[in-house]
């Protein structure tokens, strides 16, 4: 079964010409020296292209052929190169132990049964001194996401949990 990522929700609307990265991932990437970056469940490439424009060597992985196509079109438009792989995250074929300077799981929500293995493989893919970037919804924000779009006026004290963890 394909991994879960942010891709399905974004397929319903057209991709802007130059979509912005998530603010938290951009601010975290901007504090690190460019190197090799792995982005899991990357979707349409907004974080990957942002990182590549700042000198990162980006490998992106997602289960969506459509997401990959959109990401590569965006990369061409922005004159950057991406290594974008279409794969099931849970198969762990993307893992390269000790290779990446940073690994990002930006809204890469996985079923509980798969989460531990994927997160462990992501951490194992980090080079010594590498950074794991995690941006996810917190437990309180799930209730907000379940309400009808017209009723999304709820808020939580912490809508997401950004983290940059040196490993």
Residue ranges per structural domain of the chain: 7-166
Fold of 7-166: Rossmann fold (3.40.50)
For residues 90 and 19, the model is more confident at 90
For residues 89 and 141, the model is more confident at 89
What is the structure's pLDDT at 34? Answer: 97
The stretch 46-64 carries a mean pLDDT of 97
What is the structure's pLDDT at 135? Answer: 87
What is the structure's pLDDT at 161? Answer: 40
- pTM above threshold 0.85: no
Condensed to tens digits (0 to 9), the pLDDT of residues 67-88 reads: 999 999 999 999 999 999 999 9
DSSP string of the chain, one letter each residue: -PPP-SHHHHTTSPPPSSPPPPHHHHHHHTTS---EEEEET-TTSHHHHHHHHTT-EEEEEES-HHHHHHHHHHHHHTT---EEEE--GGG-TT--TT-EEEEEEES----HHHHHHHHHHHHHTEEEEEEEEEE-B-HHHHHHHHS-GGG-----S-SB--EEEE-
Condensed to tens digits (0 to 9), the pLDDT of residues 9-43 reads: 444 444 445 589 998 889 999 999 999 999 999 99
Condensed to tens digits (0 to 9), the pLDDT of residues 111-161 reads: 888 999 999 999 999 999 999 998 887 665 544 444 434 433 333 333 344
């Amino acid at each position: 079964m394909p991994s879960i990522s942010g891709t399905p929700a974004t397929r319903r609307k057209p991709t802007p010409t130059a979509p912005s990265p998530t603010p938290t991932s951009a601010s975290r990437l901007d504090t690190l020296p460019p190197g090799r970056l792995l982005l899991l469940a990357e979707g349409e490439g907004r974080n990957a292209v942002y990182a590549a424009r700042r000198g990162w060597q980006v490998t992106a992985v997602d289960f969506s052929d459509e997401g990959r196509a959109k990401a590569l079109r965006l990369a061409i438009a922005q004159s950057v190169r991406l290594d974008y792989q279409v794969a099931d995250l849970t198969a762990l074929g993307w893992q390269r132990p000790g290779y990446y300077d940073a690994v990002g799981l930006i809204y890469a929500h996985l079923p509980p049964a798969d989460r531990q293995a994927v997160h462990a493989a992501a951490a194992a893919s980090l080079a010594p001194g590498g950074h794991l970037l995690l941006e996810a919804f917190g437990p309180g924000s799930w209730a907000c996401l379940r309400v009808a779009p017209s009723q999304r006026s709820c808020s939580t004290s912490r809508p997401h949990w950004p983290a940059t963890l040196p490993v």
